[in-house]
Amino acid sequence: MKKNIFFCVIWFVNMQTYSSDLSVGGSSDVRVRMGENITLNCSMRNRDEVAWYRLRSEELVLLISAEKDKTGRRLLTTYNQNRTRMKMTADSWVTRVSLTISGVTESDSGLYFYGIKSDTPEMHFNKPIRLEIEGNRFQFFSSLGVR
Ligand SMILES: *[C@@H]1O[C@H](CO)[C@@H](O)[C@H](O)[C@H]1NC(C)=O
Ligand SMILES: *[C@@H]1O[C@H](CO)[C@@H](O)[C@H](O)[C@H]1NC(C)=O
Ligand SMILES: *[C@@H]1O[C@H](CO)[C@@H](O)[C@H](O)[C@H]1NC(C)=O
C-alpha cells in the first residue's frame, strides 16, 4: 500500500512537469486584435534555412519557409501558404528575420514556432509563441446576431 502511494506521488509530479512542458511552459504569449498585423521575429545567425509552423486544433501547418541565397545577403522564400497575407523580411546580413501576417483573424490563433537549419539535416526549434486574437465588441455582438 505504501509503495502504491509512493508511485502515485512520483507519477503526479511527473505529470505536472510534463503538462507544464506541453502547455505554456516557456512559450511567450502575444495578443493582437482582429484585423491587425503581427510580426514574429527569429534569428538566423549561422543558419541557412528557416520555416515557420502553426499548431492549431492538433493540426500542424507549414506556413512559410525560406533560405539564404549563395551570397548570404538575401532571403529567398521557398514556400508561402498565403502570399497575400504573409511576408518575410530580413536585415542586410539575414540574421534577424521577421514574418509579418497581415489582417489576422480568429483562425490565425495558435502556437507558432520556427525551425532553423544549416547543411545538416536536423532542424532546431525555438520556444513556441502563443498567438491570441482578440475580437472586438462589434464582432462579439454581430456573432450573437445583434446589430
Ligand atoms: C518583432 O520585432 C518588431 C520590430 O522590432 C516588433 O515591433 C515586434 O513586436 C516583434 N514581435 C514580437 C512578437 O515580439
Ligand atoms: C489567403 O488570404 C486571403 C485573405 O484572407 C483569403 O481570402 C484567401 O482565401 C487565402 N488563400 C489561401 C490559399 O488560404
Ligand atoms: C498591414 O499589412 C498590410 C499588407 O502588408 C499593409 O498594407 C498595412 O499597411 C499594414 N497595416 C499596418 C497597421 O501596419
> What gap in Å lies between CA 79 and CA 61, rounded to an integer?
12
Q: Is residue 66 part of a domain?
A: yes
Question: What pLDDT, on a 0 to 100 scale, did the predictor assign at position 92?
Answer: 92
Structure confidence by residue, pLDDT tens digits, 13-39: 333 333 334 444 567 899 999 999 999
Question: What pLDDT, on a 0 to 100 scale, did the predictor assign at position 8?
Answer: 36
Q: Dihedral sign for Cα 117, 121, 124, 130, please.
A: positive
| 40 pocket-lining for ligand 1 (C-beta < 6 Å) | yes
Question: What pLDDT, on a 0 to 100 scale, did the predictor assign at position 144?
Answer: 56
Q: Which numbered atom of ligand 3 lies nearest the CA of 103?
A: 1
Question: What pLDDT, on a 0 to 100 scale, did the predictor assign at position 137?
Answer: 53
Q: Is residue 48 part of a domain?
A: yes
At which residue does the C-alpha cell 504569449 appear? 29
Q: Is residue 143 part of a domain?
A: no
Q: Is residue 5 part of a domain?
A: no
Residues of the chain with pLDDT under 50: 1-24, 146-147
Question: What pLDDT, on a 0 to 100 scale, did the predictor assign at position 3?
Answer: 44
Q: Which numbered atom of ligand 2 lies nearest the CA of 83?
A: 1
Q: Is residue 99 part of a domain?
A: yes
Query: Which residues lie across from 7 on neighbouring strands?
Result: none
Question: What pLDDT, on a 0 to 100 scale, did the predictor assign at position 1?
Answer: 43
Among protein residues, the one with the nearest Cα to ligand 2's atom 1 is: 82
- Looking at the 3D structure of the chain, how many domains does it have? 1
Q: Is residue 74 part of a domain?
A: yes
Helix (H/G/I), strand (E/B), else coil: 105: coil
Distances (CA, A) of 71 to 60, 93, 94: 32, 10, 10
Question: What pLDDT, on a 0 to 100 scale, did the predictor assign at position 126?
Answer: 87
Domain CATH for 129? 2.60.40.10
Question: What pLDDT, on a 0 to 100 scale, did the predictor assign at position 136?
Answer: 64
Q: Which domain holds residue 131?
A: 16-136
Q: Is residue 120 part of a domain?
A: yes
Q: Is residue 3 part of a domain?
A: no
